[in-house]
Amino acid sequence: MESLIGKKAPVFKADAVVNGGEFVENFSLEQYIGKKEVIFFFYPLDFTFVCPTELLAFQAKLAEFEKRNVAVVGCSIDSKFSHWAWLNTDKNNGGIKGVTYPIVADLTKTIAENFGVLAGEYDYDEEGNAIFIGAPVAYRGTFLIDKKGVIRHCVVNDLPLGRSVDETLRMVDALQFFETNGEVCPADWKEGEQGMTASSKGVAEYLSTH
């Protein structure tokens, strides 16, 4: 997979469901440029097992993201109608009722493909028929996009491996700390801790106190 770090996030316009049940056409991440950072995450499918735990975990921490002026947006290859049905299904029945952030419908799989997280690829068989090799869904990709629309962090998990929302928040804090203070963040840095200047002297000073 070619890294998108430091590059502009791929542009798209697609159907989405927002506020837990409202259909929106031509939804785009471009609406956030100059205004907010974005956590844009992919998950494999609606009405599955690991996926609802992740979407509900993002919802549980949504106030923390909003406090940091960060938009959270989910995406899978399901239709907007599947998203709507899942959003209106109770949690005890496998649903994600109560999720309010936007969920994008990537029916053509082009968004996942452009972000490099499609878990397979299109090909042709010996008779020239189009086939799909692999799983026609997205890996669990998470992208941190800055206010200029540039991808600053990404992590991609295989299908069985649920992601850490707390780690996603930590990376948001690290990016905002760097942009505010101009100091870089060492290993396992957390909000409220000391950063260090990007120089040999700055590294030495940091290490001398830890």
Active site residues: 51
List residues bridging with 184 in a β-sheet. 196
Structural contact between residues 77 and 109, judged by C-beta atoms closer than 8 angstroms:
yes
Closest of 209, 203, 202, 174 to residue 189, by C-alpha = 174
* Gap between the Cα atoms of 73 and 29, Å rounded: 9
* Gap between the Cα atoms of 44 and 138, Å rounded: 5
* Gap between the Cα atoms of 192 and 195, Å rounded: 9
